[in-house]
C-alpha cells in the first residue's frame, strides 16, 4: 500500500468534517420525497422498471432477453485461491498479452533490460502499473486502432535490483517519473476477434510522463492558488500523477483522474493539506530530493500540490497535442471521470473521490455537444456547474442497523440531490470563491453537507439505460468510534467488502438536480457472509465478489465489475465479474476471469461484439520482491537464466486480451 496510495488506510481519516449523517436528515428526506413527487409507489416503480427507463422499446426487449449469449457466452469460473499465479479464463477462452511494462513504443527505443533501465529508455517504453484502458478502433478499418492506458504508480521493490537502487536513488526516481503517466500505442489485428498486437513505431505512439507539460484550463487556470516560481502564470503544469481509472469521451478523448497525488509531495501541514492527506513529512519516494517542486517547503513551490488532483484530458489521435487539466471538475482524489450527453446536448461528467467518507460529484457543461466538431467538444469540460451528491434513505433509521439486513420495504433505496458548488460561474459555497471551491473541493463538499461514502471508485453511466453505477470499494471504519455512522446508502458497519449503488437521474435527465437510488449489491462471499445482497437474486447462484473498483458495460448494458482487494478480504485472486441488471436474473454475478497472484483487475473493456474482453493487470506479484518474486506473469520465466531478450524473471504489469478459443480451455498459459 505504501507505493499505491501512501498507506492511506493506515492513516487517519481525512474527512473530519461534521457533515450531517443520514440519521440526522431522515425526516427531512421523507418530506423532500413528497416535494419531488417520488412517493413510495413511484419510487418502487423506478427501481423495478429499470429496463424501460431511457431505452426504446426495442432496446428494452434486448435488455430482458436471456443474458450471457452472443459472442461472450461463458460459464462462470470458480473463484481462484489468492496464491495462484495465473490468468484464469472460462472454458472456451484463451488469453494473450498485448503489451507489457518496458515494451518499446518507438523504433529508437532500446529493448527492455530490467538490469539496464534508464530514464530515457523508460520514457520510450510502456509504463508501469497500467490502470485505465481503452482500445479505440479506427473507423472503417476495424483492424487498426490506438490502445490508451495510464500508469498509476511505480513499485520500486519490483522494478529495481536492491543494491543498485540503494546506490542510485536519484536515477531511480527519474525512471519512476518516466514510468508514470500515459501510453498511447497503435494496435493492429488480422480481423475482428483475433488478438491485437501493438505497433512499435506507430505514428500515434506517445508517452506522457510526470514531466510532460499540461495546459491548465477552466475557472481556476491562472489563479494565484496555482502559481509557482517555475510557472508564474499558473497555467502550465509538468506531468500527471497517480492516474487511476478514466473514461473515453463521446468525442474520442481520454479522461483520467489524478488520484492519490498527496503521497508524492511534502507539505507544510495546513488544514487544507490535512483534508487532502498531505503532511509535512518526507515522502516514501523521495522525489523532493530530486526535484524541488515536490516539497512545499521550498520557496516558490508552496502551490505545486494544488496543480495535481485534477481530471486530465488527452487526445490519443494527436501525439503532439497538449494534454489538459480541467479545473472546472474540481480537485480531489479523482478515481476517474465518465461522460454522458444529456438530452439537451450538455455533457455531464461523473466522478468519485476515492477516500473513506468522501463524496460523489457531477459536472454539467455550459456549452452543448456538437456531433463531429471535435475542436469545440474538447472545450466542453472547461466551463459549467459542479455538484456534489447527497443521499437520503426512505426506510426508518432503526432498520439500518449496520448488519446490512434489507429493510422491510425490500430495498436500500431513496432519493437524493446534487448540491451545487459552482453554478452559472458563481460559487454556491458560503465563504469560498469559485477558485477556492475548485482547488479545495473537498472543503466545499464538507460545507454543503455532502454524503460521506464508502470510498467511491468508478462512477459510470450505463450507455444503454443512462443509469449511473457507483462502485464503493470498502470502508472498514464505517460506523466505528468517532466516525460517520451507517446510513441507507452506506448500510454496513465496518464495510470490508464494499457495495454498488444504482442511481437514476430524475426523468432520466443527466442534468437533473434530483435523483432516485438503490443499492444493487452488497458485496462479499455469500456462502460465509449473511450481510451480502444481490438485488434479491439467489445467493447460492452468484460468484463471490469483494472490493468493487472499476466498472464497464457491454453493448447490451450488462455491468462488468473488476475488483481490487479480494485476496485480503475473501481470500481469492482479484477478478472480473459480469452482473445482469435487468429481468429475472437481475443481481446475478458471474465471474469471468481471475488475475494472477498479487494483481488487481483494472481497466476492464468489453468488446462483446468481437467476443473479446481486455483487462489491465496491475501490480502482479505486489507482495514479492525483485529477487524473490511471487508472480511470474505474463512471461512465466521461472529462472533468471532462462529470460530471453525483453523478458524478465518476475512480474510485469501488462494488458491482456481474452478471446474465444477453439483450442482448449486456455487456462494457465
Ligand atoms: Fe487507484 Fe481508487 O484506485
Ligand atoms: Ca428502503
Ligand atoms: Ca481504482
Ligand atoms: Ca484500484
Q: Give the per-residue pLDDT at 252.
A: 97
Atom 3 in ligand 1: residue holding the nearest Cα: 244
Ligand nearest to the CA of 33: 2
Count of helix runs (H) and strand runs (E) in the chain: 12, 31
Nearest to 27 by CA among 516, 388, 396: 396
- 13-38 burial, b at 16+ Cβ within 10 Å, e below that, comes to bbbebebebbbebbeebbebbeebeb
**Cα 489 to middle of ligand 2, angstroms:** 9
**Cα 535 to middle of ligand 2, angstroms:** 12
Q: What is the mean pLDDT of the chain?
A: 91
**Cα 333 to middle of ligand 1, angstroms:** 9
Total residue length of the chain: 669
Q: Give the per-residue pLDDT at 191.
A: 87
Atom 1 in ligand 1: residue holding the nearest Cα: 244
**Cα 355 to middle of ligand 4, angstroms:** 12
**Cα 569 to middle of ligand 4, angstroms:** 15
Cell representation of residue 530? 449473511
Percent of the chain scored above 90 by pLDDT? Answer: 84
Q: Give the per-residue pLDDT at 20.
A: 57
278 lines ligand 1 (CB under 6 A): no
Neighbours of ion ligand 4 (CB under 5 A): 549, 564
Ligand nearest to the CA of 400: 2
152 lines ligand 1 (CB under 6 A): yes
The residue assigned the cell 453511466 is 461
Ligand nearest to the CA of 408: 2
Ligand nearest to the CA of 259: 1
- The 8-class DSSP code of residue 10 comes to G
Neighbours of ion ligand 2 (CB under 5 A): 394-395, 407, 409, 411, 413
> Of ligand 1's atoms, which has the minimum distance to the CA of residue 244?
1
Q: Are 120 and 605 in contact (CB under 8 A)?
A: no
244 lines ligand 1 (CB under 6 A): yes
pLDDT per residue over 212-238, tens digit each? 999 999 999 999 999 999 999 999 999
**Cα 597 to middle of ligand 4, angstroms:** 15
354 lines ligand 1 (CB under 6 A): yes
Ligand nearest to the CA of 618: 4
**Where is 427: in which H helix or E strand?**
strand 426-427
Q: Give the per-residue pLDDT at 271.
A: 77
Residue 278 to residues 281, 299, 300, 442, Cα–Cα distance (Å): 9, 18, 18, 13
194: confidence class by pLDDT, cuts 50, 70, 90: confident
Q: Which of 11-25, 282-296, 372-386, 407-421 has the lowest mean pLDDT?
A: 11-25
Q: Are strands 324-326 and 213-217 parallel, antiparallel or unpaired?
A: parallel
pLDDT per residue over 131-190, tens digit each? 999 999 998 888 999 999 999 999 999 999 999 999 999 999 999 999 999 999 999 999
358 lines ligand 1 (CB under 6 A): no
Quick check: pTM over 0.85? yes
pLDDT per residue over 294-348, tens digit each? 999 999 999 999 999 999 999 999 999 999 999 999 999 999 999 999 999 999 9
> Of ligand 1's atoms, which has the minimum distance to the CA of residue 259?
1
Q: Are 380 and 365 in contact (CB under 8 A)?
A: yes
Amino acid at each position: 500500500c505504501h507505493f499505491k496510495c501512501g498507506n492511506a488506510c493506515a492513516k487517519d481519516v481525512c474527512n473530519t468534517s461534521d457533515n450531517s449523517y443520514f440519521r440526522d436528515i431522515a425526516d427531512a428526506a421523507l418530506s423532500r420525497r413528497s416535494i419531488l413527487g417520488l412517493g413510495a409507489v413511484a419510487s418502487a416503480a423506478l427501481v423495478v422498471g429499470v429496463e424501460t427507463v431511457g431505452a426504446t422499446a426495442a432496446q428494452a426487449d434486448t435488455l430482458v432477453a436471456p443474458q450471457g449469449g452472443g459472442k461472450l457466452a461463458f460459464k462462470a469460473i470458480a473463484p481462484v485461491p489468492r496464491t495462484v499465479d495465473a490468468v484464469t479464463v472460462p472454458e472456451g477462452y484463451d488469453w494473450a498479452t498485448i503489451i507489457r511494462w518496458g515494451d518499446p513504443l518507438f523504433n529508437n527505443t532500446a529493448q527492455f533490460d530490467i538490469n539496464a533501465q534508464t530514464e530515457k529508455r523508460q520514457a520510450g517504453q510502456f509504463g508501469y502499473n497500467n490502470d485505465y484502458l481503452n482500445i479505440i478502433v479506427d473507423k472503417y478499418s476495424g483492424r487498426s486502432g490506438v490502445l490508451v492506458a495510464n500508469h498509476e504508480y511505480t513499485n520500486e521493490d519490483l522494478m529495481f535490483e536492491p543494491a543498485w537502487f540503494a546506490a542510485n536513488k536519484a536515477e531511480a526516481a527519474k525512471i519512476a517519473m518516466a514510468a508514470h503517466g500515459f501510453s498511447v500505442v497503435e494496435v493492429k489485428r488480422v480481423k475482428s476477434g483475433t488478438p491485437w498486437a501493438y505497433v512499435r513505431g506507430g505514428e500515434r505512439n506517445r508517452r506522457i510522463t510526470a514531466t510532460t507539460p499540461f495546459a491548465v484550463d477552466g475557472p481556476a487556470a491562472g489563479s494565484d492558488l496555482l502559481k509557482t516560481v517555475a510557472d508564474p502564470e499558473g497555467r502550465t503544469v509538468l506531468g500527471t500523477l497517480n492516474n487511476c481509472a478514466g473514461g473515453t469521451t463521446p468525442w474520442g478523448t481520454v479522461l483520467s483522474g489524478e488520484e492519490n497525488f498527496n503521497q508524492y509531495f511534502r507539505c507544510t501541514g495546513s488544514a487544507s493539506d490535512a483534508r487532502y492527506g498531505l503532511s509535512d513529512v518526507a515522502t516514501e519516494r523521495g522525489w523532493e530530493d530530486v526535484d524541488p517542486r515536490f516539497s512545499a517547503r521550498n520557496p516558490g513551490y508552496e502551490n505545486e500540490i494544488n496543480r495535481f488532483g485534477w481530471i486530465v484530458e488527452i487526445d490519443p489521435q494527436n501525439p503532439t497535442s497538449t494534454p489538459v487539466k480541467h479545473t472546472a471538475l474540481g480537485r480531489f482524489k479523482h478515481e476517474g471521470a465518465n461522460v454522458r450527453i444529456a438530452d439537451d446536448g450538455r455533457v455531464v461528467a461523473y466522478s468519485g473521490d476515492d477516500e473513506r467518507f468522501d463524496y460523489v460529484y457531477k459536472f454539467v457543461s455550459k456549452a452543448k455537444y456538437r456531433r463531429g466538431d471535435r475542436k469545440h467538444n474538447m472545450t466542453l469540460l472547461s466551463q459549467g456547474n459542479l455538484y456534489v451528491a447527497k443521499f437520503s434513505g426512505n426506510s426508518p433509521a432503526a432498520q439500518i442497523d449496520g448488519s446490512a439486513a434489507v429493510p422491510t420495504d425490500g430495498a436500500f433505496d431513496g432519493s437524493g440531490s446534487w448540491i451545487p458548488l459552482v453554478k452559472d460561474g458563481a460559487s454556491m459555497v458560503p465563504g469560498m470563491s469559485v477558485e477556492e471551491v475548485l482547488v479545495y473541493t473537498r472543503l466545499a463538499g464538507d460545507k454543503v453537507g455532502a454524503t460521506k461514502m464508502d470510498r467511491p471508485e468508478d462512477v459510470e453511466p450505463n450507455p444503454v439505460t443512462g443509469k449511473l453505477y457507483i462502485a464503493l470499494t470498502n470502508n472498514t471504519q464505517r460506523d466505528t468510534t468517532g466516525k460517520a455512522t451507517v446510513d441507507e446508502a452506506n448500510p454496513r458497519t465496518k464495510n470490508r467488502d464494499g457495495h454498488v449503488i444504482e442511481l437514476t437521474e430524475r426523468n432520466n435527465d443527466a442534468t437533473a438536480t434530483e435523483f432516485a437510488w438503490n443499492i444493487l449489491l452488497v458485496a462479499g462471499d455469500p456462502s460465509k457472509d449473511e450481510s451480502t445482497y444481490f438485488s434479491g437474486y439467489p445467493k447460492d447462484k452468484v460468484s463471490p465478489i469483494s472490493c468493487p473498483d472499476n466498472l464497464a458495460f457491454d453493448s447490451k448494458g450488462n455491468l462488468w465489475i473488476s475488483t481490487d482487494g479480494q485476496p485480503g478480504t475473501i481470500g481469492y485472486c482479484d477478478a472480473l465479474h459480469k452482473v445482469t441488471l435487468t429481468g429475472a436474473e437481475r443481481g446475478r454475478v458471474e465471474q469471468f476471469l481471475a488475475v494472477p497472484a498479487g494483481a488487481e483487475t483494472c481497466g476492464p473493456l468489453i468488446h462483446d461484439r468481437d467476443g473479446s474482453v481486455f483487462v489491465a493487470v496491475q501490480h502482479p506479484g505486489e507482495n514479492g520482491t525483485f529477487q524473490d518474486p511471487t508472480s511470474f506473469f505474463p512471461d512465466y520465466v521461472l529462472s533468471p537464466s532462462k529470460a530471453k531478450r525483453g523478458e524478465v524473471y518476475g512480474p510485469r504489469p501488462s494488458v491482456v486480451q481474452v478471446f474465444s478459443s477453439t483450442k482448449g480451455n486456455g487456462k494457465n498459459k
